[in-house]
Amino acid sequence: MTTSSRRFRFVQLEFPWVLGPDAGRYTIRERLSEAPRHILVLAVLGAPERRLLTRRRRSRDAPPGPPPESVPTSRATLVDTAALAGPQAAEKWLGAADLEVLAADAVARLNRVLHAHRIATADPYAREVALGQALAVRVGYGAGEQVADGRWARAREPVRSRRCARRSA
């Protein structure tokens, strides 16, 4: 099996706030003695970087009908380290996958990471997430670096997340 033929399963969740841990890649082990079972890729999207004001500024007129301010969103991609044999195996897996169960399992794993982060940083305001809070939920597969960069070869959205998106629109 060549590297280019391997596909990796993932669940991707987007939330309308910064989750807490710094953006980057984190390995997740079920037990200390085992090899990593998942890679968690965290990214912050959507908001321009704000700088602290170093000097006092004068007030200014606000334009009528200003565009909405950008707010940060977080993307958490949970990648399974067990590779699928190739495109046919990946397509077969996605066709038979229970998207709701996979999404719920990804939220549980993400919450364990967020809980550990809250304890390690002594941040009582860091919060865990619920599937219903996600702006987007995607389950799919792609090549390793492709998935780690938030892209994929093919993905599907669970029915529940599509309903939530329609309700909020």
pLDDT of 94 reads: 97
**Cβ neighbours of residue 101 under 8 Å, at least 6 residues apart?**
none
pLDDT of 69 reads: 77
Is the Cβ–Cβ distance between 102 and 139 less than 8 Å? yes
pLDDT of 4 reads: 62
Task: Give, as one character, the DSSP assignment of residue 4.
Answer: G
Give, in order, the Cα–Cα distances in Å from 137 to each of 63, 69, 82, 116, 124.
Answer: 36, 24, 21, 23, 27
pLDDT of 140 reads: 97
pLDDT of 55 reads: 58
pTM across the whole model: 0.81
pLDDT of 50 reads: 53
Q: Which residues pair with 14 in a beta bridge?
A: 75, 136
pLDDT by 10s per residue, the chain, length 169: 555 678 999 999 999 999 989 999 999 998 888 899 999 999 999 765 555 555 566 777 877 887 877 788 999 999 999 999 889 999 999 999 999 999 999 999 999 999 999 999 998 888 899 999 999 999 999 998 899 898 999 999 998 644 454 444 4
